[in-house]
A and B are shown apart, each in its own frame.
Chain A
Amino acid sequence: MPLIDDLSASSNEQELERRRFLGLVGSGALGVSVAGTAVTAVQYISPNVLYEEDTRFKVGTPDSFPVGTVLALGPQKVYVVRTEEGFFALSAVCTHLGCMTRYEADQKSFFCPCHGSRFSAGGDVVGGPAPRALPRIEVALEGGVLVVDSRKLVPPGTILKV
């Protein structure tokens, strides 16, 4: 009588076939459950509801901005700029590594304190490691009030005429 786990024991073709089949079913089931667990784990740690600031907000009426105003909105990380032609908005997030830039009125440019990037009043890179201009953000006029959505980007040079 051979031991059950004695693999050297002679076994007929049918037994070998069954052993191979059961092995395949077992490892297949293991593979499926590992894959399922991995997918579920990633889904679990990826949040479905975010309790973050609304990216869409009102900034006031056009006539409350004298020409030349650069309004920095800290929590929303957006600049609203009033020029002679109209309005445009820029992201205040440095395109280098995501720090918050600040407007330096005497230099008429935006400066990032983290690694020294500098952007012109129009958002173009004029110095430092930043790879791209500050993205332009859509400004819309809704019912006489300026509305900005920091998630909506517009092509450079876009200006809201008022």
Chain B
Amino acid sequence: MPRLPAALTKNRVFRSVVRHGFPNSNRNRSLAVFTNFFLHIHPVKVRLRAIAFRRTFYLGGLSAAAFFILTVTGILLMFYYRPSVPEAYEDMKDLEFVVSAGVFLRNLHRWAAHTMVALVFLHMVRVFFAGAYRPPREFNWVIGVVLFLLTLLLSFTGYLLPWDQLAYWAITVGTNMVKAVPSIGDDLRFLLLGGNAIGEAALLRFYVLHCVVLPLALIVLIAMHIWRVRKDGGVYLPPEEGAGGGEPGPESGEEAGEVRRE
């Protein structure tokens, strides 16, 4: 090993972080994956058929990537945006005209939001046409539907925050639709707006829902969603031509070209 990498890796601190050897053997390559928090959502080995682009078009991963962009840009926007009636619109305009890269971050947030809705929808379509909602993945389909609804609610709550005419009337129309919920519709609208009309209370409520409540729910459900995909043996694969059984069940044993983890 050359001297610099050796100096960086052969010390107690590095050894305590990375506890396996250089990934030059199958064993160490496996260890590199399943001792890493960020990599462990993938199996150590996957079949080539499962990662072919045309199998999934990577729509789920791209949805998650859009959410990551939204989280980062959203946090950055929060440094300048104040969710109150006198300031909200002014702060939005400040982001557009006086803050360095403000217009870039705001538009990135906006386009990533539109993109995420489209990607989540396409992901759903792909899963539907692959028949991947069938047992044992039925409940993961349900989680996916909730994730889709949360995505739409995040878009809806974010819509009010610029506090311009478009925002005001869009939320007027949207919250009047809430009234259509049987028997509790009117109360639900009152709770959502924190009053009878869209005002200070509604803006603050939508801000808290948009920046805290809904993203937290989304993160927890995304974790469950991905975890269940892993437990069901990765993405759904139709039976190989000529081969017998279909996909491996949960925690099933070693298949050709696949190594068990854990």
Contact with A along B161-201 (1 / 0, CB 8 A): 00000000100110111000000000000110011110111
Q: How far is the CA of A114 from the CA of B176 in the complex (A)?
A: 13
Given A97-B173, A99-B172, A114-B169, A50-B196 contact (CB < 8 Å): yes
How many residues on the B side are at the interface (Cβ–Cβ under 8 A)?
15
Within 8 A of B (CB), among A7-41: none
Q: How far in angstroms is the closest Cβ of chain A from B149? A: 20
Q: B193: nearest residue on chain A (CB-CB)?
A: A47
Q: A55: nearest residue on chain B (CB-CB)?
A: B196
Q: How far is the CA of A151 from the CA of B199 in the complex (A)?
A: 18
Q: Which residues of A contact B201 (CB under 8 A)?
A: 47, 50-51
Q: In the complex, are the beta carbons of B173 and A52 less than 8 A apart?
A: no
Q: Which residues of A contact B176 (CB under 8 A)?
A: 97-98
Q: How far is the CA of A51 from the CA of B201 in the complex (A)?
A: 9
Q: How far in angstroms is the closest Cβ of chain B from A55? A: 9
Q: In the complex, are the beta carbons of A98 and B200 less than 8 A apart?
A: no
Q: How far is the CA of A46 from the CA of B186 in the complex (A)?
A: 12
Given contacts A47-B195, A51-B201, A98-B173, 12 further A-B contacts (CB under 8 A): A47-B194, A47-B201, A50-B195, A50-B196, A50-B201, A51-B199, A51-B200, A52-B197, A97-B177, A98-B172, A98-B176, A99-B169
B-to-A contact residues, CB < 8 Å: 169, 172-173, 175-177, 190-191, 194-197, 199-201
A-to-B contact residues, CB < 8 Å: 42, 45-47, 50-53, 97-100, 114
